[in-house]
Amino acid sequence: MGAASSGAQVVPPPASEIPIPVKPKTDSGPDSAHVKADSIKPPVGRFADPLTYEIGSQYDWNRAQLFATGALSLVDLLDRIPGITTFRSGWLSTPQTATFAGDFRRVRIFYDGIEIDDLDNTTGGVLDLSTIQLWSLEHLSIERSAGELRLYMRSWRVDNTDPYTRVDVATGNEDTNLYRGFYGKRYDNGAIFQLGGQQYGVTSPRFSGSGDALSLLGRIGVAKKRWSVDALVNRVHATRDIERPFVGRPPILPLDATNTNAYLRAAVGGVNSGPWAQLTVASLGFRGQTGRDRSIGATAQPDTTERKASETQYNATAGFTSGPARVEVNDRLRAIAGNTTNSISGRLDLATPIGLLSGLAERDGYRGSTNIDVGIRAQPLRFLAVSGSVARSTPLAGASSTLASTTTARGEVGLRILGPWVSGGYMSVTNTEGLAPIVYDTLLLPTSAGKSTAQTFSIRGPLGRGFGIDSWLVRWDQARPYQPQYQSRSELNFTNSFPRRFPRGDFELRAAGVYEYRGSTFFPLAAGDINAGGLRTVSALLEIRILRAVISYQQRNILAYPYFVVPGFEMPRVLAIYGVRWDFWN
């Protein structure tokens, strides 16, 4: 619920969202000396989150930090990652997509180890990121390798036998209303029960898109010290009205769709060290139809034939963690529309006092390629760091003719000047012909093949006295389809709990100001390219925590700058969103 805040780990999470240790309960019987078992139970599932290799703070958020960013959707969060260009035709209920280094295929999402694939055949293979439920996460790590942007998501879990409850409420411009609720409890025998939901609605009086979405999450299971079994369901039912362009473009058709992701998971082994293994059987489903045009004066109705698609995904994962070394092997079997593909990958992360080495090798039967990438971060001196990544992708025999071998590289050198890191870098990317975001216009052409290079510059880290900065600039050698030549984001933030005035930590103030810039972006059509102008927006966030309640207020595009991210669809002018997050232990 806020607009923008610092990058991950630049500012500590609000204390209101860090679980407070609960004293062991005592029986109410006559023998008051009898104490129940520890109220903190073993976690469910086994994970080896990848070690990322950014200079300075990593793009890594826990649950408290995720909510504190103010991001209401995944693209809100991705806007702070260099090399990413996000697209949306309006506000919350509109389609949302993203490219990394100019290619929609280079953004991959893993939710509890399950890779989320696009199942809607009307989007041309480009995943609509509005279907990814950011609110349901406990942890998110973003690995920005040379070849891909990989998002590793972990769903919300509970570990305390005291019931946990949370309520979020927000409202704002464009008739935006958002509600969230969480309930979770662990039992003395290790059993798990969780239930959460989010509902939002938008009724835009202008051209920013109207619609609503209800998302529900449920988990049951049991977790012991050395093993766990659980089942999770996340179901999203979203509708959007027809979105008519400001001028000269075809409308985005209405939609009534349901996405259902569910899995059954069994895990054994150590949580933080030693060997571990996990088996997940997942079902991913999509059911949708083009909704009816409910606008005033509408006559013709689009085809409302229902579309259905499903995928079964089997994931067998094993790993070993020993001190600074992490090894992981994964076998992923997909069954979609009668076709079966297999993907096998292996990963090694090695952390040392002076740096990090990370390597990934994958034979991806689903995409028809073999991928290898290596990343490194070295910090031989406290004030000097070097980071880089090299990736190579080679098509498998019999793969699509549009695929070709590609090599990408990224390098960066940083100096720590007082508090923040000042870094400069270089990217070299080779793309094959990619995908087109036809959800905005069915006549759009795919991304083009070719080589491009970019220079990067960033300043990230604490400035002192509670202030921090997170600023970056990317300049490509030229503008390419769906990729502006210049793009930047600059944020100045402040956080302070005033420990002298509030020694018990009952108060905290957070504030941030953000300036975002994007050059003109062209969208290719056979009849000629069309441009989406550029953007220059100023946004701000203010959050005040009192005990365990966080009051949040944000404004986006404070100066009411008119701009288009997708040609023909004007973005909202001033967006004000305010509300409260309140969690407690019963």
Residue with token string 């509670």: 466
pLDDT at 315: 97
Q: Which of 317, 336, 335, 337 is nearest to 327 (CA)?
A: 317
At the second CATH level, the architecture of 15-21+38-292+307-585 is Beta Barrel (2.40)
Q: Report the C-alpha gap between 203 and 445 in whole angstroms.
A: 31
Q: Report the C-alpha gap between 447 and 177 in whole angstroms.
A: 36
Strands of the sheet containing 107-111, edge to edge, are: 60-62, 137-144, 149-155, 107-111, 114-115
Whether 437 and 446 have beta carbons less than 8 Å apart is answered as no
Whether 352 and 358 have beta carbons less than 8 Å apart is answered as no
pLDDT at 33: 39
**Adjacent-strand bridge partners of 538:** 515
3-state secondary structure 150-177: EEEEEECCCCECCCEEEEEEEEECCCEE
Hey, what are 42's tokens? 């073993």
Which residues are CB-neighbours of 293 under 8 A, at least 6 positions away? 241, 242, 254, 300, 301, 302
Whether 517 and 535 have beta carbons less than 8 Å apart is answered as yes
Q: Which of 269, 376, 250 is nearest to 328 (CA)?
A: 269
The kind and range of the H/E element at 74 are helix 74-78
Task: Determine whether 397 is exposed, middle or buried from the number of CB atoms within 10 Å of its CB (0-12, 13-18, 19+).
Answer: exposed
C-alpha distances out from residue 318 to 48, 275, 344, 363, Å: 10, 8, 12, 17
pLDDT at 247: 73
Q: How many C-alpha atoms does 142 have within 13 Å on its Cβ side?
A: 24
Q: Report the C-alpha gap between 2 and 66 in whole angstroms.
A: 11
Residues in the chain: 586
Phi, psi (rounded to 5 degrees) for 284? -115, 130
Query: DSSP E strands: which ranges in 187-293?
Result: 191-202, 211-223, 227-240, 255-269, 274-289
Q: Which of 533, 415, 530, 442 is nearest to 481 (CA)?
A: 530
Whether 420 and 11 have beta carbons less than 8 Å apart is answered as no
First to last CA, the chain: 24
C-alpha distances out from residue 114 to 155, 261, 314, 450, 483, Å: 11, 10, 9, 31, 29
Dihedral of alpha carbons 546, 550, 551, 555, sign: positive
**Ramachandran class of 70: left when φ > 0, alpha when ψ lies in -120 to 50, beta otherwise:** left
Hey, what are 315's tokens? 């994931």
In this prediction the pTM is 0.91
pLDDT at 11: 34
Residue with token string 């069309």: 530
DSSP state of 504: T
Hey, what are 500's tokens? 């002298």
How is the chain split into domains, by residue range?
15-21+38-292+307-585
Mean pLDDT for each 10-residue chunk of the chain (586 residues)? Answer: 37 37 40 56 89 94 93 96 95 95 95 96 93 96 95 96 95 95 96 98 85 97 96 97 85 94 96 92 95 54 78 97 92 95 96 94 94 96 96 86 85 96 96 93 92 97 96 96 96 96 94 97 93 93 95 96 92 94 85
**Ramachandran class of 351: left when φ > 0, alpha when ψ lies in -120 to 50, beta otherwise:** beta
pLDDT at 36: 53
